[in-house]
Structure 1
Amino acid sequence: MVLAHAGGALPMLAGRLLTLCEADWVPHDGVDEESVRRGLRAFYYDTAISGTAQAMGPLTGVTDTDHIVYGSDFGAPCASAGVLERTIEDLFGTGAVPGSVPPSVRGNGARVFPRVLARLGRG
């Protein structure tokens, strides 16, 4: 499952989820911090309008860079040419995101979506 926009608020709320794993008043049969961490790492996250350090910082705190794929929101009203260019620049050009993210993002989509790559004649 790919979560859009760097997972939205989920990476920022991850600490709260982990804290609640230990709360007696929260029903959590079989759920502990490690299972929540594994769950967060298991999702894939796209970069649509989220290539900034403010979005990538929390995201890289909950998942590995091999679970981050490029996303653009191309075709959505919010994804004007300027917004797409800014996202690409933020993600690949400013150095504001952790250095391991840009090279990883470039190839992850092909690995996660091999049939799309094949349809494009590149797989």
Structure 2
Amino acid sequence: MVSPRLLRWSILWNAYDYEVVHYAGKSIASADALSRLPASCLELPIPSPGDVLMLEAMQDPPLTADDISRMTAKDPVLSRILMRVLKGWPNPEVTEEPSKYWMSFNGHDCMCCVPLG
């Protein structure tokens, strides 16, 4: 008797002409390593969240919210999107550039003249 799963595999593979070739595990190091249980290793201490957050904090960020706000006001497309977010979005505009934002305008929010999305 053959299990239904093996029978399905047998039917599938009978459509092909193939030859099974055995390779020793020593010649396929990656497959051999994956087939083994990991060796016991030393327990590494888990850092406390405070240490991790301290490492992730940037001292001098490359851009501030004021920089982004100024650049958004200068950009013609983003300034129109910002106005739409602040004052309400009318029917979709025909122009192609703002139409990218129309599909997800409900997800946009604004904080200090910086569009968040």
TM-score (norm 2): 0.21
Q: Which has the higher contact order (CA 8 A, sep 6+)?
A: 1
TM-score (norm 1): 0.20
